[in-house]
Amino acid sequence: MATTKDYGADSIRVLEGLEAVRERPGMYIGSTSRKGLNHLVYEIVDNAVDEHLAGFCDRIEVTLEADGSATVNDNGRGIPVGMHEKGVSAERVVFTTLHAGGKFDSDAYKTSGGLHGVGSSVVNALSTYLEVKVSREGNVYYDRYEKGVPTVELEKGLLPVLKTTRKTGTWVHFLPDPDIFDRTDFSGTEMKSRLHETAYLNPNLTIIFEDKRKEDNDHHEYHEPDGLIGFVRELNESEEALHEPIYLSGEADGIMVECAIQYVNDFHENVLGFCNNIFNSEGGTHLTGFKTIFTQVMNTYAKEIGILKDKDPNFTGTDIRNGMTAIVSIKHPDPRFEGQTKTKLDNPDANKAVSSIIGEQAVLHFDRNLDELKSILANAERAAKIRKTEEKTKTNMLTKPKFSFDSNGKLANCQSRDPKECEIFIVEGDSAGGSAKMARDRMYQAIMPIRGKILNVEKATMDKVLANAEIKTMINAFGCGFSEGYGNDFDIEKLKYDKIVIMTDADVDGAHICTLLLTLFYRFMPELIYEGHVYVAMPPLYKAIPSKGKEEYLYDDRALEKYRKNHKGNFTLQRYKGLGEMDAEQLWETTLNPENRLLKQVGIEDAKLASHTTALLMGNDVPPRKAFIYEHALNATIDA
Ligand code: 1YM
């Protein structure tokens, strides 16, 4: 096929648009880390899901090819290939124009994609090559691009035909551009989780995932006819459920509202919000509406049944949601998001619609299911009791003199008081802690050694958590308090360190301590993670000492492999078992010095995975925990 020729003024403008994507990829896909890489696939999948929502597609295949490329295939109508007003095939417009065509932006429910239909052209711009086959009107049409630039010559603006077919659908195949991404190996684990989630949110859709990069192909078929009910069941699979999941749904003001609820015999709440199939990690108006109306309905029942007397104060929202797992999913024709990360829904009418549908449907449901109602209210009563006791504990704690972290001798603080430049290292073990104290830049780096395992916060109650000396010291050192269901005293503005760095050994115990710390932050100080303050230090695994030339620290097995390949001549390999094996100088050089060290930023956007994992991690099995740490570390972005 011939290569690109003259595309006229319009196309030049188009290409300039895609150039902007290549210049600032983060603006379009969030980041160029592995997370951003996976996003490329989700963008294409989301278009296929839109086609499903439009009622024309019930099967999507996602394949991670052995050579690092990816293929997404659907059985919808096929992207339109006819002449667009711009003088080329509509397909070309879709793949080369940012915000492709206002026409589909405004169509109700054509909004499953997180980036509102801009997806195809963004993926195209960030791919070394991208190929499209559209099966439509009896033909298979073909197009191809390199870094967003078409390489197929059109005949009177129209696409070449490869062959005839009776089928319809769209096939997109692309290779992410290594010039753009930090790494180009998709995370299969994360992708499977997201595709499974999409299947739960779209009960009539089947998604087939295949990973051909592995020796024995990883093959999964996701079809979840029970939808949100199945989703809630999965979230609660390792818990003791108090009743069958409750499903409520309806439509108000053009907004579709769906919700599944199930209580478990545990004390935390897990309420997740989705808008147009996209997870909203920071919640938003749909969740506010849900929480407010549900609290109101349950308090009304509590008074009606006599669990609360007229003079009693109402249960708080957190009392009511004690042990609740819920998913609220809405379809909104024009979703708006708040904040930088665009993960908090902002439409006021979403609050109203959810409130109206859930208010009405919950009453219809509980009027007919009194036993369920009673067990949920009994749960709320228990929570209220605990809350009252804990409020007392907290008051007592606050009236006692504040413990100072200087006096308990643990924290070696830094001299600077400018949070923007300060870092705190939480170091496993007294010996590594001692070396770190000597090695650090005491102007900016604070060291807090922790001994062995901290308390398992997932299972412990609030007063135990607060009574734990190491946790107390940590909360005190960070300076912003802590939040939990029972009141929110956390203030990120008061954080005294820009970076909180977990520094544990690269072994199972280290992984365990790291997990416990992440759980503590996730449960009681989630903003630390959301705002990107939490990091995991990656000390080197090896030191290569060549017979001639400079010694080199190697941070993982990949680095070792590379060193082996590139290094000519003999070298001795020293393997580090733990931080304690390094002297102060080595520790500075490898792990503390911002010039050389490798830090991985911890992120929790995918709270489904996180909340799932937190529960999973706190089981008695060590292997899943270890897997989590490794997966987390791999997904994290490197802070160079
Ligand atoms: C593997 C990726 O993109 N499928 C897909 C996309 C479209 C349609 C069907 C489609 C939409 C419409 C009409 C419409 C898109 N079309 C457009 C545009 N799969 C994938 N399947 N006919 C077909 O929205 O009216 C953009 S996406 F703009 F050309 F209509």
Q: Distance, CA 75 to ligand 1 centroid (Å)?
A: 11
Identify the three-state secondary structure at position 144.
strand
- The response to whether residue 72 sits with its C-beta less than 6 Å from ligand 1 reads yes
CA 219 to chain centre: 23
Question: Which residue is it, tokens 């595309």?
Answer: 7
Question: Among 507, 531, 557, 561, which one carries the catalytic annotation?
Answer: 507
Q: Is 137 helix (H, G, I), strand (E, B) or coil?
A: coil
Spatial separation of the C-alpha atoms in residues 621 and 618, rounded to whole Å: 8
Most confident of the ranges 45-54, 431-440, 477-486: 45-54
In the structure, what pLDDT confidence band is assigned to residue 103 with cuts at 50, 70 and 90? very low
Binning the chain into helix, strand and coil, the percentages to the nearest 5 are 40, 20, 40
Same domain, residue pair 354 and 390:
yes
Does residue 509 have an active-site annotation? Answer: yes
376 and 290 part of one domain: yes
Phi-psi region of 631 (alpha: psi -120 to 50; beta: other; left: phi over 0): alpha
For ligand 1, is residue 44 a contact (CB within 6 Å)?
yes
More confident residue, 435 or 367: 367
Residue 619 pLDDT exceeds 50:
no
Q: Is 383 in the pocket of ligand 1 (CB under 6 A)?
A: no
Give the count of beta carbons closer than 10 Å to the beta carbon of residue 144.
Answer: 16
Beta strands at 270-275 and 542-546: parallel, antiparallel or unpaired: unpaired
- The residue contributing the CA closest to ligand 1 atom 3 is 47
Q: Count CB neighbours of 300 within 10 A.
A: 13
- Does the residue 273 lie in any domain? yes
- Give ∠ CA 528-401-501 in degrees, rounded to 5: 25
Atom of ligand 1 nearest to the CA of 103: 28
Residue 252's nearest CA partner among 329, 352, 337 is 352
- Quote the ligand 1 centre to 94 CA distance (angstroms): 8
CA atoms within 13 A on the CB side of 342: 11
Taking CA atoms only, the protein residue closest to ligand 1 atom 10 is 79
- Least confident among 307-316, 449-458, 497-506, 607-616: 607-616
pLDDT reported for residue 3 = 39
Contact criterion met (CB below 8 Å) for 547 and 570: yes
Which of the following is catalytic: 505, 589, 605, 606? 505
Q: What is the mean pLDDT of residues 578-604?
A: 84
Whether the pLDDT of residue 267 is over 90: the answer is: no
189 and 277 in one domain? no
Name the residue of 79, 95, 110, 121 to mutate for ligand 1: max ligand atoms within 8 A of Cβ. Answer: 79
Residue 113 has a pLDDT of 40
**pLDDT value, residue 339:** 64
Q: Is 51 in the pocket of ligand 1 (CB under 6 A)?
A: yes
Q: Residue 240: give its domain's CATH number.
A: 3.30.230.10
| CB-based contacts of 518, cutoff 8 Å, min separation 6 | 502, 529, 534, 602, 632
pLDDT surpasses 90 at 633: no
Q: Cβ of 245: how many Cβ atoms within 10 Å?
A: 21
Among candidate residues 206, 201, 204, the one with its CA nearest the CA of residue 230: 201
Residue 265 and residue 381 in one domain: yes
Question: What is the band of 512 on the pLDDT scale with cuts at 50, 70, 90?
Answer: confident
Atom 19 of ligand 1, nearest CA residue: 48
Nearest-CA residue for ligand 1 atom 4 is: 48
295 located within any domain: yes
| Token couple for 144 | 């191809």
**Any idea what the CATH number is for the domain that residue 445 is in?**
3.40.50.670
Nearest CA residue ID for atom 16, ligand 1: 79
Beta-ladder partners of 130: 145, 174
Residue 505 appears among annotated catalytic residues = yes
In which band, very low, low, confident or very high, does the pLDDT at 392 lie, cut at 50, 70 and 90? confident
156 & 249 share domain: no
Same domain, 179 and 255: no
Say if ligand 1 is within 6 A of residue 172 CB. Answer: yes
**H or E, element range at 352:** helix 348-368
Mean pLDDT along residues 588-601: 88
Identify whether residues 196 and 78 lie together within a single domain.
Answer: yes
Lowest mean pLDDT among 52-56, 144-148, 349-353, 576-580: 576-580
Residue to mutate, 62, 170, 172, ligand 1, most ligand atoms under 8 Å from C-beta: 170
What pLDDT does residue 76 have? 97
Does any domain span residue 408? no
Q: Active-site residue 319, yes or no?
A: no
* Structural domain boundaries enclosing 358: 228-395
Summarize pLDDT for 290-307 with one digit per residue, the tens: 999 999 999 999 999 999
**Residue where a domain terminates, one of 222, 239, 255:** 222
Is the CB–ligand 1 distance for residue 79 below 6 Å? yes
Q: Does 496 have pLDDT greater than 60?
A: yes
Q: Using a 6 Å cutoff on CB, does residue 46 contact ligand 1?
A: no
Query: Residue 9: what pLDDT?
Result: 45
Confidence of residue 458 (pLDDT cuts 50, 70, 90): low
17 in contact with ligand 1, CB cutoff 6 A: no
Does residue 123 fall inside a structural domain? yes
- 141: which 2 tokens? 């049409």
Residues 151 and 275 in one domain: no
Report how many domains make up the chain: 3
User: What is the average per-residue pLDDT within 35-43?
Assistant: 93
Find the DSSP H helices in 89-178: 90-96, 102-106, 119-125
Looking at residue 100, its pLDDT comes to 45
Q: Within this chain, do residues 353 and 459 fall inside the same structural domain, yes or no?
A: no
In contact, 111 and 333? CB cutoff 8 Å: yes
Known catalytic membership, residue 428:
yes
Could you tell me if 487 and 605 lie in one domain? yes
Identity of residue 355: S
Residues 18 and 159 in one domain: yes
CB distance 36 to 181 below 8 Å: yes
Specify the pLDDT at position 452: 63
Tell me how far the alpha carbon of residue 104 lies from the centroid of ligand 1, in angstroms: 9
Domain co-membership, 122 together with 251: no
Which of 222, 242, 264 is the endpoint of a domain?
Answer: 222
Does residue 34 belong to any structural domain of this protein? Answer: yes
Name the residue at shortest CA distance from atom 25 of ligand 1. 104
What pairing do the DSSP bridges indicate for beta strands 445-450 and 423-428?
Answer: parallel
> Domain ends where: 202, 222, 242?
222
Q: Indicate if the alpha-carbon torsion angle 339, 343, 349, 352 is positive or negative.
A: negative
Q: Report yes or no on 127 lying in a domain.
A: yes
Question: At residue 368, what is the residue type?
Answer: R
Residue closest by Cα to atom 23 of ligand 1 = 79
Ligand 1 touching residue 61 (CB < 6 A): no
Give mean pLDDT, residues 109-126: 65
Residue 568 covered by a domain: no
Higher pLDDT, 69 or 484: 69
Kindly state if the Cβ of 90 falls inside 6 Å of ligand 1: yes
| pLDDT tens column, 220-253 | 999 999 999 999 999 999 889 999 999 999 999 9
Q: Domain with 97 in it: what CATH number? A: 3.30.565.10
43 assigned to some structural domain? yes
Nearest-CA residue for ligand 1 atom 7 is: 79
User: How many C-beta atoms surround the C-beta of residue 567 within 10 A?
Assistant: 13
pLDDT of residue 303: 95
Q: 34: closest CA among 606, 561, 534, 519?
A: 606
Q: How confident is the model at residue 110 (pLDDT cuts 50, 70, 90)?
A: very low
